[in-house]
Structure 1
């Protein structure tokens, strides 16, 4: 008997219930390009994604490469069809990557109760990584899930939700080693790792480690992530069980930009109710691939109920402006901007809404020695020097001001006092104009 949380067996999502046929439905024509929201491209000067050749996604797709999909199988088939020819994939309704539940991925013989019994620290201890039949079967099960929920996005592709209620449940969009991708107007509920691994050697009391980001940009260039809602949704960390005294963590990131990825704009998204939200650069040892890359613009995004990594940055020149960061009174909160190895964060004209018991000093977290610019930011409606407040209250992590560069690829910069009203009414899926 498994205790994994999953929604597939419990919820029917609109017209998707019972829809299993693998059919790709052609829609639209090239003649509809003018005024067709699915053919919109990233505007000139709109962040790092507009640098150089810009980001056009599948705007040039002909009629044979425009698809409407209503199931996960259709979605993956559309991604695979036509190679790198420009394509547009329209997602209609909420499509579920794990409609049959975690049990569909289980390798024969895997038994979670037996796993817990075999690797109980009272039996196994904390000194040696787990091994043996149940760990092998867990790994095999995880491999099945990996193949099932990951969707590889090819070059020259636009993925766009139709209307106000379109999205992906439990799937992981893999934008790997390609150029020119657009993802818009989707509600993406973060994948749940059905088979986290217990690592008794992780910290003093061990930890459960999970996989699967909602969206990962891995070694890719010219990517525009716009007007999406990315969230834990129905499965917040507070609902996860604990085993061996540790949270059975089933979430990873919402949007990670890693492994030499470059020229990314993320705009008008809503990031909600998540722990490790956005990693830009995944390793201090990745300088050979990441130096001079990881150039990312974040503007007019809303972050609410986020614990940390909004984002955590290594190496990259990251421009963050006109974002609204909302910390709720009852949430866990670590930090907003993580300053990592050789990073050059430029964070200005943002708005922070903090409860009384959260100091503005906590909005910055120093992981490595790296300068940043953090000017013209407002906290609860007041102009606040984030670096000065941080250094005064956390002198052991003194930060250096001055990122050493100035962004030029910015659209209209709104006054930070106006950002909450502007962003809260326009960011997220279903609000695409």
Structure 2
């Protein structure tokens, strides 16, 4: 019944999304992603409190109430859910880091202006669900003033990035941090991006090295670059809406080897041409999902992505 209701919400932009609906995509595999469901729930109102609770060794759901001013990153340990209270809670000035830990959920947070760092770093981590957040900075500063908004690196696996508003940034979402890291990353970096709104961005929406990414039913608009497959990555790009994107999909440039992409059932308005040099073999994701009609994607994503919907 929950699955049917979730599909209805996805197809009807006016329908509310279920607060307890689980992830779709790679985060469901190999045992799934449950976050802090096995532990107690606490509420934090300061950066120091967030650091303390996120660093505990036991499962926990951590509710952030209000916008916390921080710097650098809070390390998040195993079996944690970090969720915002209401539509206007989160972090500004810093970010969250999931490094060498597993089974983490990040939902309903506004994370802005992460100076000198990522808004969310996923590094050598498995089973991560990043859902219904709003992530942004600005493009008035130098390209390196901020780092990424969602960077997934060092052989991370089983990650889903869903229903987020991601905007106003230079280096948006990097999967696989370096051309020379194939020894660690090959066979890993399995990521699903679905129902995100990417807008006013320069690049990396996302950029994928070595891994396998399924990018479906996202709404990309007013961006310079779109989906970038590099270093032999296999990327399936389907059912997305691209509006005013200079290069929606490419498999070349900026790395020593091209990637692979399969493009199907996408919509393009006011866009430049794709630059797909190598067609991929990844056509059948290893999980169940519902592909929304491309005609409904922009409205559904605009209405339901970001905070305040769970």
TM-score using structure 1 length: 0.64
In structure 2, the residue matched to 1:261 is 156
Q: Conserved in 1, the CA contact under 8 Å of 2:235 and 2:282? A: no
Query: SS of 1:59's equivalent?
Result: coil
Displacement of 1:297 after TM fit?
Answer: 0.2
Displacement of 1:338 after TM fit?
Answer: 1.3
Query: SS of 2:278's equivalent?
Result: coil
Question: Which of the residues 60, 70, 77 maps onto 2:45?
Answer: 70
Gaps of 5+ in 1: 1-35, 99-148, 194-211, 241-246, 328-332, 392-397
Q: Conserved in 2, the CA contact under 8 Å of 1:231 and 1:254? A: yes
Q: C-alpha distance in 2, partners of 1:362/1:269?
A: 19
Question: Which of the residues 249, 252, 266 maps onto 1:366?
Answer: 252
Q: Conserved in 1, the CA contact under 8 Å of 2:77 and 2:98? A: yes
Displacement of 1:323 after TM fit?
Answer: 0.2
In structure 2, the residue matched to 1:80 is 55
Gaps of 5+ in 2: 1-17
Larger strand proportion of the pair: 2
In structure 2, the residue matched to 1:228 is 133
Query: What do residues 403-430 of structure 1 show as CA deviations (whole Å, max 9, x unaligned)?
Result: 3441132432101111000000000112
In structure 2, the residue matched to 1:390 is 274
In structure 1, the residue matched to 2:22 is 42
Displacement of 1:41 after TM fit?
Answer: 6.5
In structure 2, the residue matched to 1:203 is none
Q: C-alpha distance in 2, partners of 1:41/1:288?
A: 36
Larger helix proportion of the pair: 1
Q: Conserved in 2, the CA contact under 8 Å of 1:72 and 1:95? A: yes
Query: SS of 1:154's equivalent?
Result: coil
Are residues 1:418 and 2:296 paired? yes
Query: SS of 1:318's equivalent?
Result: strand
Are residues 1:377 and 2:247 paired? no
Q: C-alpha distance in 1, partners of 2:208/2:227?
A: 8
Are residues 1:345 and 2:235 paired? yes
TM-score using structure 2 length: 0.88
In structure 2, the residue matched to 1:308 is 203
Question: Which of the residues 139, 152, 156 maps onto 1:237?
Answer: 139
From the superposition, tell whether residues 161 and 268 of structure 1 become closer, same or farther in structure 2 (CA, over 3 Å): same
In structure 1, the residue matched to 2:63 is 90
Query: SS of 1:409's equivalent?
Result: coil
Q: Conserved in 2, the CA contact under 8 Å of 1:378 and 1:416? A: yes
Are residues 1:295 and 2:273 paired? no
Q: Conserved in 2, the CA contact under 8 Å of 1:237 and 1:249? A: no
Q: C-alpha distance in 2, partners of 1:343/1:409?
A: 19
Q: Conserved in 2, the CA contact under 8 Å of 1:335 and 1:365? A: no
